[in-house]
Amino acid sequence: RERLNKGDSVLTRDLSELLPGSGPPDEETLEEIETRLLMADVGVSATQQIMDGLHERLDRKALSDREQLLAGLEAEIRAILDPVDAPLEPVHEGDGPFVILVVGVNGSGKTTTIGKLARRYRDEGRSVMLAAGDTFRAAAVEQLQTWGERNDVPVIAHATGADSAAVAHDAVQSASSRGVDVLLIDTAGRLHTQSGLMDELRKVKRVITRVMPDAPHEVLLVLDGSTGQNAIAQAREFNQAVTLTGLAVTKLDGSAKGGVLLAVARELGVPVRFIGIGESAEDLDVFRSEDFSRALIS
């Protein structure tokens, strides 16, 4: 949790100088908070919602000191994040694996997140299989295979340039016949064109459903949390193409830009399942609104 915001939160750093110890905040203080929310990538509409909430609290005299202001801010943040706090339970009732289709642009941390998830689920005692569906990039297939070998997790892969839908198809069949609990399917993050990518993802999803009618059980978008408002545009586009059911927001360590989660939550309303807080295998936390909201302001 400490690594979520190294040092002080951008939202509240040095704010104590601005905040009166007692007495309600003045207009200047509220404006400063608004500016900071926008600078922390919270986005216009989530910022508006938070500021409306704070003004409403001020009107009913519920912000009469610094403590109340910070508590009010935290409560307004939670009002946005609580609805997207819904941890993933990767259990498939009945035959066949719980299928997680993982999508996201190159560089978002997709492969790293798949590795972290595989490790997490394996440590929980589940059997895991990976599918190297990014057939466009040889390095992506190799990266997944290396990871699988090192961690004793089977990886289904075809040759570079193969049809990624065929990889997904084989993986679902293989995972089903081997009694695997969780199947994580990687996908391409860039093709020659963006519309080509979305078409391919739609096709991969369709083929999975053809093999296993209730799958995929999760369509997880991996988003680079340090890309700010750009992340929202990406999320919207993926959501349109393959209907997301969950998000993993990475790189929330280092830069204190966790505010983008508020923008995403407000815009998409898709559950945030995980947050990435570093490069190593254990640096993936289950998203919890309460902890995250507190970390944002403390």
CA Rg value for the chain: 21
Q: Residue 124: how many CB atoms within 10 A of its CB? A: 11
Query: Is 202 labeled as ligand-binding?
Result: no
Dihedral sign for Cα atoms in the order 206, 208, 212, 215:
negative
Dihedral sign for Cα atoms in the order 39, 41, 43, 46:
negative
Decide if 5 contacts 258 (C-beta within 8 A).
yes
Query: Is 189 labeled as ligand-binding?
Result: yes
Query: Is 186 labeled as ligand-binding?
Result: yes
Distance (Å, whole) CA 275 – CA 63: 31
Closest CA to 131 of 216, 57, 17, 50: 216
Q: Which of residues 166-225 bind ligand GDP (CB under 6 A)?
A: 189
In the bound complex, what is the minimum distance in angstroms from residue 284's beta carbon to ligand GDP? 7
Q: Which is nearer to ligand GDP, 9 or 111 (CB)?
A: 111
Give 65's strand partners.
22
Q: Considering the rule CB under 6 A, would residue 255 count as an interface residue with ligand GDP?
A: no
Q: Which amino acid is at 98?
A: F
In the bound complex, what is the minimum distance in angstroms from residue 100's beta carbon to ligand GDP? 15
Q: Which of residues 25-54 bind ligand GDP (CB under 6 A)?
A: none
In the bound complex, what is the minimum distance in angstroms from residue 90's beta carbon to ligand GDP? 20
Give 275's strand partners.
249, 285
Binding segment toward ligand GDP, per CB under 6 A, in 57-65, 90-98, 231-239, 251-259: 251-259
Distance (Å, whole) CA 132 – CA 141: 5
In the bound complex, what is the minimum distance in angstroms from residue 292's beta carbon to ligand GDP? 14
DSSP label at 83? G
Q: Which is nearer to ligand GDP, 45 or 280 (CB)?
A: 280
Q: Considering the rule CB under 6 A, would residue 57 count as an interface residue with ligand GDP?
A: no
Query: Is 109 labeled as ligand-binding?
Result: yes
Paired tokens of 25? 């905040």
Decide if 95 contacts 211 (C-beta within 8 A).
no
Q: Which of residues 97-116 bind ligand GDP (CB under 6 A)?
A: 104, 106-112
Q: Considering the rule CB under 6 A, would residue 230 count as an interface residue with ligand GDP?
A: no
Q: Which is nearer to ligand GDP, 54 or 272 (CB)?
A: 272
Applying CB under 6 A, among 31, 279, 282, 290 the residue interacting with ligand GDP is 279
Q: Considering the rule CB under 6 A, would residue 119 count as an interface residue with ligand GDP?
A: no
Give the residue nearest to ligand GDP (CB): 276
What residues have CB less than 8 Å from 115, skipping those under 6 apart? Answer: 144, 147, 151, 281
Binding site feature residues for GTP = 104-111, 186-190, 250-253
Q: Which residues bind ligand GDP (CB under 6 A)?
A: 104, 106-112, 189, 250-251, 253-254, 276-279, 283
